[in-house]
Amino acid sequence: MRLLTLLLCSLLTMAAQAATLTDSEIKLWIKTMPTLQGWLDEREDQLPDNDIPDADYSMDAAFARGIDQLREAGLYNQFSQQVKSAGFRSVEDWVRVSQQISMAYIAISMEEQPATRVEIENQMQAIRSAKNIPAEEKAMLENMLQASLNMLDSLANVTAADKDRVRPYLPQLVDQFGDNEE
């Protein structure tokens, strides 16, 4: 479930990312995230599996799937009440803010240890040409590397304005995202 929340906190469409984060959105998200995370954690067993097809995996797909899971479980309206009570306009608004904060946080983190597309593509080519790896394992490794490439693509679209807006809140975000790791 925490993976779902992290995913819900990382991705939406590029159109949604067009709006620059505000300090008030970031402060509100940091303040309310533990409560909203707790609400989601309490209902984890009610949510359907996160079955995004490997070929379609992207950050946007993961966020969209998270919203779909809430709907499928009949929890969307209840969660909508929670996010509105927390100060957000809608679940989609909360997801947009979550995605932008998460992506900016990851982009800032990656500035120190950048993973290059060439490195990942070289790893993928090595896996594809390896003769001693079973086909099923190759497919799994390729899917993981493709997810990494998709993440790099998403990170390339994080605006400098969002990174600049998020940077002062890194200590609180480290605490928040650190608490979400299992």
Handedness of CA 131, 125, 54, 77 (dihedral sign): positive
What pLDDT does 7 receive?
Answer: 45
- Domain borders along the chain are 2-112+159-179
pTM here? Answer: 0.77
Tens of pLDDT, residues 53-92: 554 556 677 778 888 899 999 999 999 999 999 999 999 9
Tokens of 164: 């600049």
CA 142 remoteness from chain centre = 20
Which of the 8 DSSP states describes residue 48?
Answer: P
- Structure confidence by residue, pLDDT tens digits, 122-150: 999 999 999 899 999 999 999 888 888 88
The sign of the CA dihedral 77, 82, 88, 91 is negative
Q: Which residue is associated with the tokens 């303040």?
A: 31
> Residue 8 — very low, low, confident or very high, per pLDDT cuts 50/70/90?
very low
